[in-house]
Every structure is written in C-alpha cells, then in structure tokens.
Amino acid sequence: MISFLRGTVAHVGLSSAVIDLNGAGMSVNATPQTLSRLRTGEEGKLFTSLIVREDSLTLFGFASDDEREVFDVLLSVSGVGPRLALAVLAVHDPEAIRVAAHTGDGKSFTKVPGIGPKVAGRIVLELAGKLVPHGTGEGPAASTTAPAEWKPQVVAAMTSLGWSEKDATSSIDKALADSPELADKGQVAEILRATLRWLGQDGARAGNRVGSRG
C-alpha cells in the first residue's frame, strides 16, 4: 500500500496533480481544496489511498490522514465509489462528515452533486457508528444528544429513506416505547437503528421502499 507521496510537484490540474518522485511522475486525484495547497516546482506531500480495479490502479490524494480515513470509510457504503467519496470530501471537511454521519443528518449529504435522498439515506444508515466526531467518546455521556435535538435528526434520517414525517415520528415513538433507555441516552445512530429494526426493515428493504414511493 502506498501511504503517502512526497516529492516535487510537477503539475497541478483541475482534478489531479503529478508528483515527481526521483524522476517518476505519479498522478494523484484529489479535491480542489487539496490541490490548491500544492505549488508547481515546490515539494508537496499527499496522504494516499490506492484503488485497485481489474483494468486500472488509481491513486487518490489527501491533505491529511483524517481525510483519507473518512474517504476509506465512505467506500464501505454500498453504491459509493471513490469518485463519489472524493466528491463528498470536496463539499464537506472530514469533521462535518463525521458529525453528519453520527447525527443522522442525511440532508448534508444531498448537498454533494450526484447524491440524492436515497443514497444519502443509505450513507447515514451504513455509516451509523462508524464515524464519530473528534472529541466524542464512545460512552453514553459523551455521545448523548438532548431529546429536543435528537428527534428531528432521526426524523430527517427516516424521511431521507422514504418515510413521511408523520410515519417516521410515529415509528420512532413506538420503537422507543419498547426501548425507553434509548430515549434517555439520546444517541441518534442507536435510535435510528432501533426504529428500523422495529419496522422490520434493513437497509436493502428500506431502499426498495424509497423506490416504490418514487
């Protein structure tokens, strides 16, 4: 695995750069923000992720190890490839992505070109628990959101998956009636998963529901 590149910047384009490594030019795809930090003729360093396909080897570059980590986690979402994951990082910084995933904020992901409500809902669902904002511990006290805050966030995640606001609110209330301790903790990701379990829906069936309503 190529973890990072450090060398002379030979070229900076709109979506990629070439780093000269002792006479070998390595092409790296990156966001406009990352590319704007590079200067032709000067030394540059990029953290990298190598994507291997049957017919290609493609390097993606990042300004920080945190960006690369978020990129790799985004790739774990079904239907999200490297280009779309890079597009997410072009619109949101890593911490904003962590916060959106942690709080079930699907609307933030629809701001990315190419991501509609269905894909945004899938991202929120599949990233729940995988990305945690920096400074947020794993314990209930550190990751708890007040009821006035968590309910709109869970409703927003449900509506992005295809339920109406009325149905989402009703389902959340009924799910939490069976698990009142979740309401006390106020953890958005856990409440979302509990509601989907109560509905008997997994991610794939939720996606079918969106399609049938669309």
DSSP string, 23-90: TEEEEEE--HHHHTT--TTSEEEEEEEEEEETTEEEEEEESSHHHHHHHHHHTTSTT--HHHHHHHHH
Q: What single letter denotes the amino acid at residue 31? A: T
Predicted confidence band of residue 160 (pLDDT cuts 50, 70, 90): low
Round to whole Å and give the CA distance between 107 and 118. 11
* pLDDT tens-digit map of 3-15: 899 999 999 998 9
For the cut 60, the answer to whether the pLDDT of residue 177 exceeds it is: yes
Collapsed DSSP state (helix, strand, coil) of residue 143: coil
* pLDDT tens-digit map of 53-93: 888 889 999 999 999 999 999 999 988 999 999 999 999 99
What pLDDT sits at residue 34? 92
Global model pTM greater than 0.85: no
* pLDDT tens-digit map of 107-159: 889 999 999 888 888 898 888 778 888 765 443 333 445 554 677 777 777 77
Residues 6+ apart with CB under 8 A from 18: 9, 10, 11, 25, 26, 27, 28
